[in-house]
Structure 1
Amino acid sequence: MSPSQRFYRGERLKSRKEFDRLFGRQGRAMSSYPLRLVYIETETPRSSFPFQAAFVVPKRRFKRAVARNLLKRRMREAYRLHKQELLKGDKENARQHALLFIYTGKEAMPYKYIERKMKKLLGQLGQELTKD
C-alpha cells in the first residue's frame, strides 16, 4: 500500500519564528522559474512530519486575491502529489526542514508547467539534503 498523498495540517508551516528565519539570512534557496524554494533545518521539531511547507504569491505582482489563491492552490497540489520523491531520498535523515515556495513569475502559469517546475525543485532539494 502506498503512503498517503494528503497534505496534512501538521505539514503546513505556520510558525512565525520559522518564517522570520526563512526570510532572514539563514534560509538557503534554489529556484526554477517561476518558483523559488527557500528552506532551512528547523531548530526544534514542531511536528511528526519531516517537512513543513508554506506557499507564497506576492501581492505586488498579483493584486487580486483570486489570482493569488489560484496559484497557491496549484503549487500546493503539485507539492502534495510529488512530495513522496522528497521523502524517499530523506529516509535515513531524521532532521526536520521548513520549506517556503515563492511564486516569482510575472503572469499565472498553467498547472502542468508549475507541476513540472515543482518536481524539478523537489528533486534538487532531495539531492541537496542527501549531500549534507
Structure 2
Amino acid sequence: MSGAFGLAKAERICSRKLIETLFNSGAGKSLSAFPLRLVYMPIERDTSDGLIPPVQAQMMVSVPKRYFKRAVKRNRVKRQVREAYRKNKQLVLSQLLDTPDKAVAMAFIWMDGKLQDSAFVEQRMINLLARLGERLCE
C-alpha cells in the first residue's frame, strides 16, 4: 500500500536493537490514553550507532498475552491500532517535517482486557498522536 495513508514495511520497527533501546535504555518517554500506552523515543537521524531509521516515524504494536489469551483477539486489537495509526499518522509527521534530521520511534501497548470498537481506538489514537506532536515540537 502506498501513498499518504499507507503503512509501509519501513514504517514498522523490526530492529531488535531499536526495540531494546526504546524499552531498556531509559530514553523512552511515555504517554497514556486508556486503553493505549505510547512509549516513544526521539532519534537523531545522523547518529552512528546503527539506529538510523529509513523514515521519520516508525511504530510497533504490542498486545500482551496477559490481557488476551487467544491470538485471534490479540491480532484483532493489533489490526485496530495499526489502522488507527495509519489513518492519523499525519498528526505526528507534520511536526517532523520542519526537522528532517529528527525521527521518532513509537511503541503502542494495549492495556485493557476488553475488546473495544474501532471508533473508540481511533479516538484514543488521535489523542495520543496530537499530544506526541505537541511534545515533539517543544
TM-score scaled by length of structure 2: 0.88
Whole-angstrom CA distance in 1 between matches of 2:30 and 2:91: 19
Q: CA RMSD in A?
A: 1.1
Counterpart of 2:93 in structure 1 is 87
Q: Is the 8 A contact 2:32 2:38 kept in 1?
A: yes
Structure 1 residues 40-73: Cα deviation after superposition (integer angstroms, max 9, x where no partner): 12354231x1000000000111000000000000
**Structure 2 counterparts to residues 1-132 of structure 1, below 5 A:** 4-24=4-24, 25-42=26-43, 43=47, 44-47=51-54, 49-94=55-100, 95-131=102-138
Aligned residue-pair number: 128
Secondary structure of the residue aligned to 1:77 is helix
Secondary structure of the residue aligned to 1:26 is coil
Report runs of 4+ in structure 1 exceeding 3 Å deviation: none
Whole-angstrom CA distance in 2 between matches of 1:32 and 1:62: 19
Distance change in 2, residues 1:46/1:89 (3 Å): closer
2:133 maps to a residue whose letter is G
Structure 1 residues 94-119: Cα deviation after superposition (integer angstroms, max 9, x where no partner): 21111000011121111100000000
Structure 1 residues 109-131: Cα deviation after superposition (integer angstroms, max 9, x where no partner): 11100000000000000000001
Percent identity, please: 37
What's the offset of the Cα at 1:86?
1.2
Q: Is the 8 A contact 2:96 2:103 kept in 1?
A: no
Runs of at least 5 residues in structure 2 that lack an aligned partner in the other structure:
none
TM-score scaled by length of structure 1: 0.92
